[in-house]
Amino acid sequence: MATKPEAKNLPCIFNSIVSKYPESQLAQCEIKEKQRWRHALAETAINKITILAKYFPELNSLLDSLESYSLCEKHYNQVVAKDSFINQLKKANNLIFLDPKENERKRIKLNNDTCDFGIQVSLPDPEYEKQINELGQLNMQLLSENKILEKELILLNSKYESQINELKHFNN
């Protein structure tokens, strides 16, 4: 089995995330001469990182490769050691993540919206549209063929009538 690399030789998992969320309270990585590095692949850290992945979606793709990341002291303190940062995030996202009633209300609204959407708009499937066009063309073709047949029928009828007339004339 390969030896586990030392945590201090691995990049801090939050290093790439921080720059993407300048608005968040996420701290900048701290690079001190003497600091503790912790592996991201440790139970407490995994739990916290999993929670944070809700707020920082980039973390989701890193969850499978936690063994390649560590936590700098700053982020360990901010994210793993204390709950205040996560609690802050939860509070800020209260409407979405915490209040079950609000969630329920939103879900109902969403369902209703979906229903409305389904009733109001049925988006034309291009394949379906193509078939309708083809059927329309076929219909036109049949209609014009029908007209030709009608004309032929009229012609035949008139021929027949004139023949009858001739016969009547002959008989008389």
Residue ranges in contact with Zn ion by CB under 5 A: 12, 14, 29, 72, 75
Q: Between 29 and 41, whose beta carbon lies closer to Zn ion?
A: 29
CB of 11 to Zn ion, least distance (A): 8
Rounded Cα distance, 107 and 110, in Å: 5
CB of 6 to Zn ion, least distance (A): 16
Residue nearest to Zn ion (CB): 12
Q: Between 32 and 168, whose beta carbon lies closer to Zn ion?
A: 32
Q: Between 31 and 138, whose beta carbon lies closer to Zn ion?
A: 31
Q: Between 8 and 159, whose beta carbon lies closer to Zn ion?
A: 8
CB of 32 to Zn ion, least distance (A): 11
Which of 121, 92, 119 has the alpha carbon at shortest distance from 26?
A: 92
CB of 3 to Zn ion, least distance (A): 23
Is residue 49 packed enough to be buried (19+ CB in 10 Å), middle (13-18) or exposed (0-12)?
A: buried
Structure token pair of residue 143:
């209609």
Instruction: Give buried/exposed letters for 139-168 (b at 16+ CB in 10 A, else e).
Output: eeeeeeeeeeeeeeeeeeeeeeeeeeeeee
Structure token pair of residue 31:
């690079």
